[in-house]
Amino acid sequence: MADTAVQRVEGAGISGQRGFLRKTFVHNLPAKIAALPMIATVLIVFVGCTLWTIYYSFTNSKLLPTGKFVGFDQYERLFGTSRWNVSVTNLISYGAMSLVFTLVLGFLLAVLMDQKIRFESAFRTIMLYPFALSFIVTGLVWQWIMNPTLGLQTTIRNLGWTGFSFDWIANPRMVLFALLIAGLWQGVGFCMVLMLAGLRGVDDEIWKAARVDGIPTWRTYVSIVLPMMRGVLVTAVVLIGSGIVRLYDLVVALTNGGPGISSEVPAKYVYNYMFSGGNIGQGLAAASMMLLTVVIIMIPWAYLEFGGKGRQS
């Protein structure tokens, strides 16, 4: 709209080479100057830095990114390192659990909130406040609650249930569930808010029709409303998913990767190799693998969101 209006204001008589140059550089000049920070961010950071990282992940850089090209050596070493493999397995297990539980609990709570209940805004305020807190605060609070010597475990034992056990952060087999409890505490409220917005967006007529047909309420939610909320669901999955791949602060605060290496995650691997391990090539290869993961997650989403638009209408 604005474009055509502006074009009419600019001289229409210019043509050929000069017109092309003018169109590319001079036309709309203040807007282009104003958008320079954005253009620079896109070109230098989002494109430039990504390519740089990918390129240098194929070198044997140690303390400085000056190494020579070594092909897939870093990647071979990466997948030969038990710490990386543990990190990846952890991310997959934690990610799957976190995604499923966040979505299911978020949806369940949203449905409950949608039953014309009293104190709705109080419930919502309480469910969403952890989302305002940092992962560091979240991790440290739960670290204290799950403290095996003075936390919840001891409290319950002192109350008389002497066999009670809740030592998850010190137990390599349970530590991911400890992360999950803290992660859900922080993120479920947000998912609930998204889902509730989705539920409220469903037309009342649908509900009336379902009621007339005598479909039970739960069935209406599962078979009619849920499929109608596809957009919100996809958004929730993408947001939760990209958050999971980034998982870092929470692990640092809650367990710092321990006990041993049993709660390590890829983002922490990257950080440690780049900034304290002095092995940049290895860190960059790990970072590139994280990038690849996100791209694999994003492609179906981008396809659904932008590519398939013609079909859905």
Partner 1 sequence: MSQTATMAGSAPDTSVGVEPRGPRPKPFFTPTKIIIYSVLVFFTLYFLFPLYVMVVTSFKTMPEIRFGNIFAFPNQINFDAWIKAWTSACTGLTCEGLSPGFWNSVKITIPSTIVSIFIAAVNGYALINWRFKGSELFFAILIFGSFIPYQVFLYPLVMITREMGIFGTLQAVIIVHTIFGMPILTLLFRNYFGSLPQELFKAARVDGAGFWRIFFEIMLPMSLPIFVVALILQVTGIWNDFLFGVVFAGTKNLPMTVQLNNIVNSAQGTPEYNVNMAATVLTGLVPLIIYFVSGKLFVRGVAAGAVKG
Among 147, 171, 202, 233, binds partner 1 (CB under 8 A): 147
Q: Is 209 in the site for partner 1 (CB under 8 A)?
A: no
Among 23, 200, 208, 230, binds partner 1 (CB under 8 A): 23
- For residues 40-79, which are near partner 1 according to CB under 8 A? 41-42, 44-50, 52-53, 56, 65
**Do 54 and 291 form a contact (C-beta atoms < 8 A)?**
yes
Among 78, 88, 229, 287, binds partner 1 (CB under 8 A): 287
Q: Looking at this protein, which amino acid is placed at residue 41?
A: T
Exposure string for 165-177, b = 16+ CB within 10 A, e = fewer = ebbbbbeeebbbe
Q: Is 141 in the site for partner 1 (CB under 8 A)?
A: yes
- Site string (245-264) toward partner 1, x via CB under 8 A: xx-xx--xx--x--------
From the list 11-19, 92-100, 168-176, 298-306, the region that binds partner 1 by CB under 8 A is: 298-306
Among 18, 21, 39, 206, binds partner 1 (CB under 8 A): 39
- For residues 99-118, which are near partner 1 according to CB under 8 A? 105, 108-109, 112-113, 115, 117
Q: Is 279 in the site for partner 1 (CB under 8 A)?
A: no
- Contacts with partner 1 by CB under 8 A: the residue count is 109
Among 151, 170, 177, 277, binds partner 1 (CB under 8 A): 151
Among 189, 226, 279, 282, binds partner 1 (CB under 8 A): 189
